[in-house]
Structure 1
């Protein structure tokens, strides 16, 4: 009798355990389904970027490379997905997320109150510093000195926002190299851009002695650069945040930063 009761209790225990595991399975698959439903295409992470902004994303021997390209590939791997990149011009890049052309944008995009109204951001993966670049003879070293000056900036970029904030006029320029050309030709008094982008440019372009470059870190706060996602894609944001946390912990973020920027700019400045 006791033996029968023991087997009966054991059976109930096994059934209870199986039911519990079943609930966990449903919960787990439900979460996975929610996350997968955020994707534009199943089994791949579709990423929008410009592909013309060294060292973030650019082409070398016809192939996309750069910090954000390698980051995108690492993110996709952590999520168990394949990375697919969609090069897009800046003017329509951000809007492409809302139009479901890709799952997220990796393009040196900072968190701003205006953007947060319409889009979702991951945790920051780098903290970008601004640089003020002008002709050597101009000696523009203070951000306050750009008031009334014409600066070559990408329309709607963080750089343009800073320039406008301090009273500069904007001359539209889509690419960093083009901005520097406008400065050299005297068609712009200068340009505000990321210090990291300038370092990368200087590595492959020896003729920079005609430019004056000022690190604005002590004048303008470094900005948080994050992945930009569709407002509704909360589950995908959580998955990306978790993947970024893992990439920071295993040293991947730091390694990529040093490789492409020459320093670790993945941690918040103290």
Structure 2
């Protein structure tokens, strides 16, 4: 079948959304590009030359469930969300809490973790946290810069102060307008929740199940 030259020029306009979905890009590449900072144990950090942590293992599980490979890109907080917004990275898995401000800029996966935290000024050092007591008494969350929403890397003073705070939902941001990608990501997350892998991962890194909201 032959097309007239003028018709060829019109073909890309027939369905302008045909190649707009990042779902197609991710699966054509066979790779999920995951941005993180790699400096906040136990979420994500370097152990010698190895990238590890709760969110690193989570990213690997999600990519495997989506039948692609996980490609981790280390960046700093000033580039993390702008990189997702521009399409440089597919997602950020970096203990980011869902806020109304961020929901204006990004679509989010279902939550993968929950936390109650009282935000105060961060300490310079970032000790590794291995238990809920450490999370409630040590550096855990950092107050965000206003445009970037809440990035859970500040300090929680006491368990009593943390208990008074609303629950923060940690989820995975990605570019708006990608329903097929959201569906694939959410279904992958639902599978690792349903079979207990997410609970096991949370128990491994936090010694408690942070994959479900705390009971009042």
TM-score (norm 2): 0.73
Please list every run of at least 4 consecutive aligned residues from structure 1 whose deviation after the TM superposition is greater than 3 angstroms: 33-36, 196-200
5+ unaligned residues in a row in structure 2: which ranges? 1-17, 128-133, 141-154
Match of 2:174 in 1: 229
> C-alpha distance in 2, partners of 1:42/1:259?
31
Q: Is the counterpart of residue 122 in structure 1 residue 91 in structure 2?
A: no
Q: Is the counterpart of residue 268 in structure 1 residue 213 in structure 2?
A: yes
> C-alpha distance in 2, partners of 1:37/1:212?
41
> C-alpha distance in 2, partners of 1:70/1:129?
22
Q: Is the counterpart of residue 53 in structure 1 residue 40 in structure 2?
A: yes
Give the count of matched residue pairs: 176
Q: Deviations along 1:173-199, whole A, 9 cap, x unmatched?
A: 7x6529xxxxxxxxxxxxxxx936938
> C-alpha distance in 1, partners of 2:166/2:186?
23
> C-alpha distance in 1, partners of 2:137/2:70?
24
SS of the residue 1:127 aligns to: strand
SS of the residue 1:217 aligns to: helix
Q: Is the counterpart of residue 72 in structure 1 residue 72 in structure 2?
A: no
CA contact (8 A) 1:130 1:195 kept: no
> C-alpha distance in 2, partners of 1:198/1:235?
39
SS of the residue 2:185 aligns to: helix
> C-alpha distance in 2, partners of 1:100/1:212?
33
TM-score (norm 1): 0.59
Larger Rg computed on CA atoms: 1
Alignment of 1:119-198 (within 5 A): 119-130=106-117, 151-153=120-122, 177=126, 195=135, 198=138
Q: Is the counterpart of residue 43 in structure 1 residue 12 in structure 2?
A: no
Match of 1:219 in 2: 164
> C-alpha distance in 2, partners of 1:212/1:125?
20
Relative to structure 1, the CA distance from residue 199 to residue 117 in structure 2 (aligned partners, 3 Å threshold; closer, same or farther) is closer
Match of 1:92 in 2: 79
CA contact (8 A) 1:258 1:264 kept: yes
- How much does 1:152 deviate? 2.6
Match of 1:248 in 2: 193
Alignment RMSD, CA only? 2.9
Q: Is the counterpart of residue 257 in structure 1 residue 164 in structure 2?
A: no
Q: Is the counterpart of residue 109 in structure 1 residue 78 in structure 2?
A: no
